[in-house]
A and B are shown apart, each in its own frame.
Chain A
Amino acid sequence: MIKINNKKDERKDVLRLENLTIKFGGLTAVDSFNGYLKEGELIGLIGPNGAGKTTIFNMITGIYAPTYGTVTFNGIDITGMKPYVITHLGIARTFQNIRLFSDMTVLENVLVAEHSWLQNYKARKILHKHEPEKFPRPHWKPWFWSAVLKTPDYLKMERHMKDYAYELLKAVDLDKFAHLKASALPYGPQRKLEIARALATRPYLLLLDEPAAGMNPQETQELAEFVQDVRKKFSVTILLIEHDMKFVMKICERIYVLDYGKIIAHGVPEEIQNNKRVIEAYLGDESYV
């Protein structure tokens, strides 16, 4: 039984995962995961290698379909939806091993994510159906033809996309590299660019898969500030996977601990730090705790 605090949290649920389970052949990679994220929270998901953390991200973003269980995002059941629809609904992510479009420039990487602005008709229809008052009935626009014929409408959109992309790059301090190939960036900035690219889809919920992997302590320190900064500036809810305990303990409000696909602990950082099962799972590896 998990007790965090007894007073009721009035904020609305951004994400709710219920009995989320996935099997790969004989292996149950994630077993009945239950969890939630409240609006504006910054939550950590930790666990030893192969615990199933990335797999949870893949199920939230529609890359894998869960064997059973549901994913509810802002009250909408998104289980089994296509990744692009889920992105348009407002979930963006980064990848554990950076997956930038390395042959494209830094600016283009961000612009690619903004292409979703032209393509979100289906998602807006879902939103309209869900909350007709809040989301007006969407209008379908033949953006493809506008783009090929370069109509004024499209050119205006393109300018708008470029402006926003530069703004984003400035916010993450990458604007001076805008015309460099993404693969030419050093490792740290590549991680930042991946976050910027995710933000360009204008998400509510941001999923970060080991953002501090491969960084030195000082870079990790900066990243911690950066993540908190992003949360404030872009008012996103964040769920992050991380192995660096200091990092997680410092910035996360709540933490889920996963081992062999099962939740073994859930609570605020202090609780997790002293949890016996967590310490066991990390098997006395002092450097972690």
Chain B
Amino acid sequence: MGTKRISFKTNFILTTVFVIGVGFLLLAASHSVGDYWVRIITLMAIYSIMAISYTLVNGVTGIFSLGHAGFIAVGAYTAALLTLPIQQKTMSFFIAPLIWPLNSIQMGFFPATIIAGLVAAFAAFLVGYPSLRVTGDYFAIATLAFAEIIRIVIQNSYSITNGSLGLKGIPPYTNIWWAWGWLLVTIIVIGSLKFSSYGRALRAMSEDTVAAGAMGINVFKHQLMSFVVSGFFAGIGGALYAHWLTTIDPRPTSLGIMLTFFVLIMIVIGGLGSISGAVLGAIFFAFAAQWLRIVESPMNFFGITIPGIPGMSMLIFATVFILIMLFWRRGIMGKDELSWQYIYDHFAKKAGDQD
């Protein structure tokens, strides 16, 4: 196999050019596509952050968590409680007043996001530590149970989270630059982790924990570490999401199992374990969700109005999801990354086929 290896320098230059290129595209888009689509483009980055952090656990590390929405919710609530204007807080919390010190804090978006990430990471530690003692399906169920506990606690803690009333009037800080900027940070950090000695250890564990242990890897510690890093970025994603939505509440369909399921769809489409796959899956999902709104709204064919079918888009997603699991389990990227080397190899192979 005589394929050329692309040098580090070439890689670095191409990647920098690519990032700057994406930056210009976003700049152009933010001036031309209109507010509605700018919001969708922002959402794509938020979904990507959630998906990358999820695929780090479920794909790269090979432990199957169903608790992702729990950490997103923790991040969303933490950040929202820190940025909400004080008058807004006094207004919203009419069942039970907000406790000190949250009732007298109002800070900027950036520190609030960081704190949200840290709190979510801590939550991930608390959840991961007991849950990682069991493996496989049991771990999936344990994390699902923890996510539900988080949601129910949020729903009942009126003096902290405003309970089932949720939080309203969150400042709409999340714009295209915050979202894509954080996405860049997420890709760099998790990418750097995946392509380090630690990443190799995680991938080895995902194949065989017994062999990995015998090779000197502290399996529990590495799984926990991956889980906490994932929790941090899930929290960041949650913070961005809260300031994109501007209202959040603890219903199962908003920050509950449904959200975990959506992110699962993204990473399954993209290929479990691939960062670039997660981004592609997230972009596809955000785009398709918009596009499928058509089937849920009334349509007008030559004067005949067909009523929209509520729930249809979810049904289509679920169908696509099952079909992928049955016939295309690899997803878009499999475990590979969309690197310059990958693109080069593909083109080299194509060129080779034609000879």
Query: Do A and B bind?
Result: yes
> Which of A's residues lie within 8 Å of B, judged by CB?
61, 63, 82-84, 87-88, 92-93, 95, 99-104, 108-109, 111-116, 118-120, 143-144, 147-150, 154, 157-158, 161, 197-198, 201
Q: CB-CB < 8 A to B211: which residues of A?
A: 95, 99-101
Given known contacts A95-B214, A147-B197, what 14 new A-B pairs fall within 8 Å (CB)?
A84-B216, A84-B218, A84-B219, A87-B213, A95-B211, A101-B204, A115-B216, A116-B217, A147-B198, A148-B196, A150-B192, A154-B196, A158-B197, A198-B215
| Number of cross-chain contacts by CB at 8 Å | 95
B39 contacts the other chain (CB 8 A): no
A148 touches B216 (CB 8 A): no
Question: Is there a chain A Cβ closer than 8 Å to B203's Cβ?
Answer: yes
- The answer to whether the Cβ of B141 comes within 8 Å of any Cβ in the partner chain is no
CB-defined contacts of A88 to chain B, threshold 8 Å: 216
Are the C-beta atoms of A119 and B218 separated by less than 8 Å?
yes
Q: Which B residues are in CB contact (< 8 Å) with A101?
A: 203-204, 207-208, 211-212
Interface residues of B in 204-240 (CB under 8 A from A): 204, 207-208, 210-219, 225
User: Contact: B192 with A148, CB < 8 Å?
Assistant: yes
Assembled-state Cα–Cα distance A83/B215 (Å) = 8
1/0 per position for B90-120, CB-CB distance to A under 8 A?
A: 0000000000000000000000000000000
Q: Does B335 contact A (CB under 8 A)?
A: yes
**Cα separation A201 to B203 with both chains bound (whole Å):** 18
Q: Please state if A112 and B214 are interface contacts (CB–CB under 8 Å).
A: no
**Inter-subunit contact B214/A63 (CB<8 Å):** yes
Query: A84-B218, A197-B215 known; A112 and B210 CB under 8 Å?
Result: no
Does B203 lie within 8 Å of A103, measured CB to CB? yes
Residues of B within 8 A of A112 (CB): 200-201, 204, 212, 215, 217
Q: Would you call A115 and B213 a contact (CB within 8 A)?
A: no
**Interface residues of B: mostly helix, strand, loop or mixed?**
helix
Decide yes or no whether B189 CB sits under 8 A from chain A: yes
Cβ–Cβ < 8 Å partners of A82 in chain B: 213, 218
Q: A120 is contacted by which of B189, B192, B196, B216 (Cβ under 8 Å)?
A: B216
> What is the distance, in angstroms, from B274's C-beta to the closest C-beta of chain A?
13
Size bracket of the B interface:
20 to 34
For residue A206, give the distance in angstroms from its CB to the closest CB of chain B. Answer: 12
Closest CB in chain B relative to A97 CB, distance in Å: 11
Residues of chain B from 168 to 206 with CB closer than 8 A to chain A in the complex: 189, 192-193, 196-198, 200-201, 203-204
Cβ-neighbour of B216 out of A87, A95, A103, A161 (below 8 A): A87
A149 cross-chain contacts in B, Cβ below 8 A: 192
Assess whether B207 is in contact with A115, with CB atoms less than 8 Å apart: no
Do the beta carbons of A83 and B198 come within 8 Å of each other?
A: no
- A10–B188 alpha-carbon span in the complex (Å): 56
Subset of 5 A-B contacts with CB under 8 Å: A99-B210, A102-B207, A115-B215, A147-B198, A197-B215
Contact of B193 among A84, A87, A148 (CB under 8 A): A148
With contacts A101-B204, A101-B207, A104-B203 taken as known, whether A61 is within 8 angstroms of B214 at the C-beta atoms is yes
- Nearest residue (CB) in A for B335 is A103
In contact, A87 and B196 (Cβ under 8 angstroms) = no
**B318 to A: closest C-beta gap in Å:** 29
Which residues of A are found within 8 Å of B217, using beta-carbon distances? 84, 112, 115-116, 119
Do B197 and A148 have beta carbons less than 8 Å apart? no
Q: Roughly how many angstroms separate A197 CA and B218 CA in the complex, as a whole number? A: 17
Residue of A nearest to B199 (CB): A147
Nearest residue, chain B, Cβ from A57 = B214
- CB-defined contacts of A109 to chain B, threshold 8 Å: 204
List the 4 closest A-B pairs by CB distance, nearest first: A116-B216, A87-B216, A147-B196, A99-B211
Q: Name the A residues within 8 Å of B207 (CB-CB).
A: 101-104
Please give, as numbers and ranges, the residues of chain B lying within 8 Å of A157 by CB-CB distance: 197
**Nearest CB of A to B349, in Å:** 16
Q: Which residues of A contact B193 (CB under 8 A)?
A: 147-148
Tell me whether B201 and A115 are in contact (CB under 8 A): yes
CB distance from B138 to the nearest CB of A (A): 20
